[in-house]
Amino acid sequence: MSASIIECRSFVNRMFRFVVRLVALILFLTAGPVLLFRWLDPPTTAFIIRERLSAESDTVQYRWIDREHISPHIKVAVIAAEDQTFPSHHGFDLKSINDALQDRERGRRVRGASTLSQQVAKNLFLWPGQSWLRKGLEAYFTVLIETLWPKRRILEVYVNIAEFGRGVFGVGAASQIYFKKPASRLSPPEAALLAAVLPSPKRMKVASPSRYVRSRQEWILEQMRSLGGVGLLEQIEPQPGKNNKSPARFL
């Protein structure tokens, strides 16, 4: 065997080992934090850090509330408003993505197609924007989150890190600021009002809702009822000893 062939094989082997180590390092640096946050409550998020550094924001309100101390109505409200296929999809709503692509091709206003899982990935680890790099990273982290977390954890993290107003992150802070009560006591209309501003929390106001926000609130309440009210959560947070096939309880 010639020296050139031996040298070529040695180079290929070195490159292979380099690629394997690089992939292992990337997985460790990305899957590691995702797995950790399955049990550890995030002390902050990429969006909160960005808000703290923004010259437009003087204060940031962020308060983590454990799942058992969060009103079930806000959980149903965000599903109704943002991602009605959340209990059944695996991170991506393919129908909504296809509809959004068709709207873009026809020159129409592109509707939102991000699932709650995608929004958790973006808010927790990434930055706002529409670049292909950011979208690719969002898809990657979404797969990790859906693989490593149960649905109930995704929902718990989402309601805790979503922005409900300028500098107001999480349902714990939002409930105290806007309704002067703990998140466990949110009523269906209050939960629907919080969910109504999620598409644009810096423009839409919970404290002084516009006619459009009120109309979204009413629509969300209707969707909450049609989805089965808090009974919907039995698909996500099954209670031990209960028959999870029982009829859904309505709001």
- What pLDDT, in 10s, does the model give residues 8-18? 777 677 787 87
Within a domain: residue 161? yes
The rounded distance, in Å, linking the Cα atoms of 98 and 111 is 11
**How does pLDDT run across 139-178, given as a tens digit for each residue?**
999 999 999 999 999 999 999 999 999 999 999 999 999 9
Q: What is the mean pLDDT of residues 52-61?
A: 78
Burial class (CB in 10 A: 0-12, 13-18, 19+), 226: exposed
- 61 and 144 co-located in one domain: yes
| Domain span at 175 | 37-235
Give the pLDDT mean for 223-249: 72
149 phi, psi to nearest 5 deg: -115, 145
b (16+ CB within 10 A) / e for 174-211: bbebbbeeebbebebebbbbbbbbbeebeebebeebee
pLDDT-above-70 percentage for the chain:
84
- Residue 196, CA distances (Å) to 163, 178, 211, 212 in order: 12, 14, 11, 9
Say yes or no: 45 and 134 in one domain: yes
Domain match, 26 and 57 both = no
pLDDT at residue 3, as a whole number: 66
Judged against a pLDDT cut of 50, whether residue 250 lies above it is answered with no
- For residues 85 and 132, membership in a common domain is answered with yes
Q: Supply angle C-alpha 7, 13, 15, rounded to 5.
A: 105
Q: What is the CATH number of the domain that holds 197?
A: 1.10.3810.10
**What does the DSSP 8-state code read for residue 229?**
G
pLDDT at 239: 58
- Residues 156, 215, single domain; the answer is yes
222 has pLDDT over 90: yes
> Can you read off the two tokens belonging to residue 127?
């930055």
- Do 26 and 74 fall into the same domain? no
In a domain, 251, yes or no: no
Same domain for 14 and 41? no
**Of residues 80, 96, 27, the one with CA closest to residue 230:** 80
Q: Measured in Å, how far apart are the chain's first and last C-alpha atoms?
A: 78
Same-domain status, 42 and 21: no
Residue 243 inside a domain? The answer is no
Rounded to two decimals, the pTM is 0.84
| Local confidence band at 2 (pLDDT 50, 70, 90 cut-offs) | low
CB 153 within 8 A of CB 64: no
Angle value at C-alpha 215, between 84 and 97, nearest 5 degrees:
35
pLDDT at 240: 53
Query: Is 250 within a domain?
Result: no
Model confidence at 35: pLDDT above 70? yes
**pLDDT tens digit string along 197-220?**
999 999 999 999 999 999 999 999
Q: Give the pLDDT of residue 197.
A: 97
| CA–CA dist 202, 144 (Å, integer) | 29
- Say if residue 251's pLDDT is above 60: no
**CA gap 124, 5 in Å, rounded:** 48
If you search the block for the tokens 């516009």, which residue do you land on?
210
Is the residue at 199 inside a domain? yes
Count of domains for the chain: 2
Q: Are the C-beta atoms of residues 197 and 54 closer than 8 Å to each other?
A: no
Query: What pLDDT was estimated at residue 54?
Result: 80
Q: Is residue 165 included in any domain, yes or no?
A: yes
> Do residues 166 and 64 both lie within one domain?
yes
pLDDT digits (tens, 9 = 90+) for 86-111: 999 999 887 776 766 665 566 655 55
Question: Are residues 52 and 175 both part of a single domain?
Answer: yes
2 token code pair: 């010639």
* Stretch 64-76: mean pLDDT: 96
pLDDT exceeding 90 applies to what percent of the chain?
65
- Band (72; pLDDT cuts 50, 70, 90): very high
SS3 assignment, position 61: strand
Q: In degrees rounded to 5, what are phi and psi of residue 164?
A: -110, 5
CA distances from 64 to 44, 52, 59, 70 (A): 10, 17, 16, 10
Q: Can you tell me the mean pLDDT for 178-188?
A: 97
Q: Which range (32-36, 39-43, 90-94) has the least confidence?
A: 90-94
Residues 147 and 216 in one domain: yes
Same domain, 19 and 89: no
